[in-house]
Chain A
Amino acid sequence: MEIPYTVDVRPDTGLSNGKFGVWLFLASEVMLFAALFSSYILLRVGSVEWPHGYEELSVPMAFFNTVVLITSSVTMVMAWASLKMNDFGKFRLYLGLTILLSFVFLIVKYFEYSHHLHAGEGPWHNTYYAIYFTITGLHGLHIIGGIVVNAYLWGPGAKMWQTAKERFTNRIEIAGLYWHFVDLVWIFLFPVLYLL
């Protein structure tokens, strides 16, 4: 017996295993970031003084990064759409762009971090920077994870397109769901840390 519904959907749930699995995983990630946001709220509300985001951090850099990440979400979904339209070349282009934009995001983050660290504003400096580095750091780790997955699917993993088109398209959709989630977290992170 083979494991069913790896590609086809189960009739009564309408889901394939992988899609259901990734949504469950994302639900757990929501709780992870919920805990971090909750920590931020508790620490900020309980503090004697707490700076505004725009006083400490670079809004223009983060604004640029927000645009970069949202664009990468568009290129990610376009990669999937290209496969649905049977255009492997376009898929490669869009997924490649997604990976490139992810690197841009990380490079900007690197400049942001090194600026603060050189100024002595590390996580040890005060609780504001502690939570800033921790939340953005964990988000950054998620970006790196996404890059690894996307790079695999762009490179060696893309061989599956030759032998199992539908299954490969599914994998891109699932990777996309994860990537959009990473973007979604940033959509909340950006105003909370930088603008308030």
Chain B
Amino acid sequence: MDAHAHSVDDIKKSVKTYMMVFGALMVLTIITVGVSYVHLPVVAAVTVALIVATIKGSLVAMFFMHLLHERKVIYWVLMLTVVFFIFMMFVPLLTNSNKIPGTTPGTMW
């Protein structure tokens, strides 16, 4: 049971919020597609795409998944996950830096 939504009025307010989030998500989707047509240089393109995606994802998580009003326990689990997520994404890539070139056949490493 959500602490924040008891009465029908509260739910009606939430519905308004959901619609606004829906609108924001549509706008952000159009933006991200639009930007892709500009063909920015790699670093900028990746940065913009990931920022927009993160904003969209956060909106879904915070409002549709009620994360904004969720309990501490859930936040702790997710923060722990995010730490390991970051490791999983970046560390394998980092192991490819300052390698002795030519040590992995068939790739540019």
Contact = CB atoms under 8 A, between A and B. Distances in A.
Interface string B4-31: 0100100110110011001001100100
| Size bracket of the A interface | 35 or more
Nearest to B35: A195
A159 interface: no
B96 A48 contact: no
Contacts of B1: 8-9, 16, 166, 170
A13 B5 CA distance: 18
A30 B73 contact: no
A81 interface: yes
Contacts of B68: none
B71 A14 contact: yes
B108 interface: yes
Interface string A1-41: 00000001100011110001001100100110011011001
Interface SS, B side? helix
A137 to B, nearest CB: 20
Nearest to B54: A188
Interface string B42-55: 00011001101100
B3 A14 contact: yes
B96 A45 contact: yes
A95 B52 CA distance: 28
B85 A46 contact: no
Given A187-B56, A196-B49, A38 B88 contact: yes
Nearest to A36: B88
B22 A66 contact: no
A70 to B, nearest CB: 5
Nearest to A40: B89
Contacts of A31: 81, 84-85, 88
Contact of B15 (A20, A37, A81): A81
A78 B15 contact: yes
B86 to A, nearest CB: 9
Contacts of A24: 77
Given A71-B22, A184-B60, 6 more contacts: A15-B71, A31-B84, A176-B65, A177-B65, A183-B64, A190-B32
13 contacts: A14-B3, A16-B1, A31-B85, A38-B88, A41-B89, A47-B108, A70-B25, A176-B65, A183-B64, A187-B57, A188-B53, A191-B32, A192-B49
Interface of A: 8-9, 13-16, 20, 23-24, 27, 30-31, 34-35, 37-38, 41-42, 45-48, 54, 59, 63, 66-67, 70-71, 73-74, 76-78, 81, 84-86, 166, 170, 176-177, 180-181, 183-184, 187-188, 190-192, 194-196
